[in-house]
Structure 1
Amino acid sequence: MRKSVVIKQTPTHLCVNDDCYSMRNIVDASVEELTWKDHLLRMLGLGILTASILFFMLVGELPYAEYLPAVGFVAGALLALLTSAKYVLRIEYNHQDDTGVQWLAIAKSGKKTDKLLFEQHVAQLKQLLVS
């Protein structure tokens, strides 16, 4: 996981870390502060995913295999909690294929300073999108 977020904005592209997005395809931008509900949903999703993988792959082959999905659920939920971020920089991006317009989370961070950086870039993006 990256320690810091690097955002480079030019008149034609918005680059976040190693990913670049064309400015002509960006429709809107926002900064979102994630709540406990968001973290809980992520924990449940990753926990269910790891439990189901272990259930379908290992049940019946190992001794005490019936307990592995529960252990996988707890491990997945803990992994989701440990890798969670508090602030998310999102853009509404118009893809060139049949996907259409979607909100993409392009950067995440738990630092208050990064939230201020995100808000600064959102303001710049909105100013460019209006003109």
Structure 2
Amino acid sequence: MNGLKNSIYGIVNVIYSLNNFINGFVNVIFGLNNSIYGMNGLKNTITGIKNAIYGINSTICGLQNSICGIKTSIYSINNSLYCIDNGLYGINNYLYFIDNSIYGINNALHCIYNAINSHISFKKHPL
């Protein structure tokens, strides 16, 4: 009887051992599954960091383009001011030309005046 009882206990212990083995195997599978989830989380974190870096890079490119646009606008304004300056220089030269023309006309009138006065004076007091 003790032998049969011990055999039954042995079978029960084998069943418990199989149960523990199955539970351990299930825990290994759960552990692997959790590792996969953890890897996916790490992968998503790395992807998020990469996207953030791309975003920063795009922002820097946008700022560079904005600065280039501002520089181009300033260059264009500077060129416009050069054009205005050259236009004013041209107007100034034209006014100098008019002024010199008036001065020339004035000198010519003085010459005519002096010639008339000399002629009148010569008629009054001939040599």
Bigger RCO of structures 1 and 2 (CA < 8 A, at least 6 apart): 1
Of Structure 1 and Structure 2, the greater strand share is in 1
TM-score relative to the length of structure 1: 0.22
Which protein has the larger Cα radius of gyration, Structure 1 or Structure 2?
Answer: 2
TM-score relative to the length of structure 2: 0.23
